[in-house]
A and B are shown apart, each in its own frame.
Chain A
Amino acid sequence: MLTKQQLKKISDWLWEAPTTLRAGMRVPARVYATSAMLDEVLRDRSVEQILNVATLPGIVAAALVMPDVHEGYGFPIGGVAAFDREPGIISPGGIGYDINCGVRLLRSELLEADLTDRAQSLAQALFRNVPSGVGRSGHLRLTDRELDAVLRKGVAWMLAQGHGQPEDANYIESSGRLPQADPTAVSATAKRRGRDQLGTMGAGNHFVEVDVVDEIFHAPAATAFGLRPGQLVVLIHCGSRGLGHQVATDYIRTMLKVAPQYGIKLLDRELACAPFASLEGQQYFGAMAAAANFAWANRQLITDETRRAWQAVFGPSANLSIVYDVAHNIAKLETYDVDGQLRELLVHRKGATRAFPAGHPEVPAVYRPIGQPVLIPGSMGTASYVLVGTSQAMTESFGSSCHGAGRRMSRSQAKREVQPNKLLATLKIQGITVAAGSKAGLAEEAPQAYKDVHDVVEVVQRAGLAHKVARLRPVVVVKG
């Protein structure tokens, strides 16, 4: 078991595990956390896991964990690692089973006062319009050809079918489409699982939530993002559904078999990987990109369903505009200055959010003077945050930030300790209306089951990885 004494304190919010800590580490591992947070982090195997990540071939600079880290499979959740194209690797475990799980923020022109007496009808309209629950089908039925087009084109396919507004793609990470997508690398089984799931939320920690902009911390960024105090906004959190889960399962199995053939010694089966340049590495990258496009298409269709619910409640002229959409389980080719040289790296983010600064060409033109919006959902009943990316993130964390609050309590413990009816009553007192398919599922997602999102965001802010722009307070929560 690792101890705090084995880590070197770099600052009040950054700790480093040197390469001497574990045989085979090629780079140090760094943990963003306060001293108190680190005590909690060291209770599970998150840091052990990031030390294993630091042994993987081609890793650059350092393996990182964000303050919302918790134990995952192979890679910890909240982990960031960048690899050279050659001889670096790609690992499905470094992305996660829910490929391109992510968050989208929509802004309205309405204020909290406009919600009075309509919260319940809005919750019900959203619950009806956005299918949720385990294995639930959506409204779209796609042919093989149409599904392949979704996998290739992502959001663009949805817009071409009329599911959105023409400008939507401008406000989505990578415009909602990774060009490397290869539908032929996605198994027939994965396609069968995803075929009827577009426009569905799923269950667990996924949600559609209406929030109020509760406090502004950075007025110029808030203005650029179109956010103002009291404004109603909508957060959507979900991913690539069964299609992405199956892609990850398929390729972890493939890579377990081929890793030894490439001379890769795995300290953990879930670190299964292959050289990025290898046939298997390229096939997975193509399949992952296709699943990422599917996830963006999914959030786009949910946006369309949400807009319809919104207009049903507030009238046909009530609009919702996309502020931004971020992926927090993904691997992407990005360029960084490493030791004075620009290098294209494959950045794995598993439970971490891209946080690009002002001036970066991948930030939408309208936000480029200020930086990329970074969306950090908290638990229902607490708060969520909008941050903005910084240049420091480019030099320290491969343009990455945290992704949420992070669980601190098991689902079983939450169910034992939280009575759903009491939770609903407490949330009601807090002014939060809930529509959920499962009361047991609701208890599992209770605020006390999560770490304090305020603490997590504070570390990110102090470390300079992103700056706080606005805090959002939930008023309507819709879950599967």
Chain B
Amino acid sequence: MHSHHIADHTADIRLDVRADSLLELFTGAIQGLAEILKPGFCRADTAVTKRQQLKVTSLDVTTLLIDVLSEVLTRSYLDRTVFCGTSWTRLTETQAELTILGAPTDGFQRDVKAVTYHEADVREIAPGQWQTTIVFDI
């Protein structure tokens, strides 16, 4: 289970994500990014026609999340695809291996320049309660 909320930020966009596991937190963040790029796209009944494999290694779990999202953002622009789903092979605090699933789009609503490390802090605040904030440079 996961949820995300797109919040106000003076110059940019802040995404708050909560989940009951680390894997769900990553999945929720990827879906949040899709919602920012193209609101409503993933809620429509769109068939998955694009798949991309990602393998990312980072210093710690917060850096890993941002690095995974940066990869998803890059692939979104290069393939003109909104990635709504994930299929996980492996997730540790420093490594992620997954397939991202999506569908092509004729355009994005937002020009997300980058996923930043600003304010990001992946934490398990209580057993089964994971959360973080992510700020996107617009």
Q: A residues bordering B, Cβ < 8 Å?
A: 44, 70-74, 77, 97-98, 133-136, 189, 192-193, 202-204, 242, 245-246, 248-249, 252-253, 256-257, 268-270, 272, 407-413, 438, 440, 480
Contacts and interface: CB of A to CB of B under 8 A. Distances in A.
A410 B8 contact: yes
B108 A97 contact: no
Interface pairs A-B: 5 shortest CB-CB: A269-B117, A410-B8, A73-B118, A203-B111, A134-B108
B109 A440 contact: yes
Contacts of A480: 111
Interface string B106-131: 01111101111110100000000000
Given A249-B115, A412-B7, 17 more contacts: A44-B10, A97-B114, A133-B107, A134-B107, A134-B111, A135-B77, A189-B78, A193-B74, A193-B78, A203-B111, A253-B70, A256-B63, A269-B118, A409-B10, A411-B8, A412-B8, A413-B8
A270 B117 contact: yes
Contacts of A257: 59
Contacts of A73: 116-118, 135, 137
Contacts of A246: 74
Contact of B114 (A248, A268, A412): A248
Nearest to A74: B118
Contacts of B137: 73, 97, 245
Interface string B98-110: 0000000001111
26 contacts: A71-B11, A97-B113, A98-B113, A134-B108, A134-B111, A135-B111, A189-B74, A193-B74, A193-B77, A204-B111, A242-B77, A245-B113, A252-B117, A253-B70, A268-B118, A269-B63, A269-B118, A272-B117, A408-B10, A410-B10, A410-B11, A411-B13, A411-B138, A412-B8, A412-B13, A413-B8
A73 B117 CA distance: 8
Contacts of A70: 10-11
Most A Cβ at <10 Å: residue of B62, B70, B77: B77
Contact of B107 (A135, A270, A408): A135
B17 to A, nearest CB: 17
Interface string B3-22: 00011111111000000000
Contacts of A272: 117
Interface of B: 6-13, 59, 62-63, 67, 70, 74, 77-78, 80, 107-111, 113-118, 120, 135, 137-138
Contacts of B110: 134, 203
Contacts of B6: 412
B11 A407 contact: yes
A249 B58 CA distance: 14
A133 to B, nearest CB: 6
Contacts of A135: 77, 80, 107-108, 111
Given A73-B116, A270-B116, A192 B10 contact: no
A192 B138 contact: no
A221 to B, nearest CB: 31
Contacts of B10: 44, 70-71, 407-410
Nearest to A203: B111
Most B Cβ at <10 Å: residue of A77, A98, A245: A245
Most A Cβ at <10 Å: residue of B7, B12, B59, B111: B111
A7 to B, nearest CB: 21
A2 B67 CA distance: 31
Most B Cβ at <10 Å: residue of A70, A74, A189, A411: A411
A72 B11 contact: yes
A212 to B, nearest CB: 29
Contact of A256 (B12, B59, B108, B111): B59
Contacts of B63: 256, 269
Contact of B109 (A134, A136, A245): A134
Contacts of A204: 111, 138
A77 B10 CA distance: 12
A408 B9 CA distance: 10
A270 B118 contact: yes
A246 B70 CA distance: 9
A412 B59 CA distance: 33
Contacts of A408: 10
Contacts of A74: 118
A257 B63 CA distance: 10
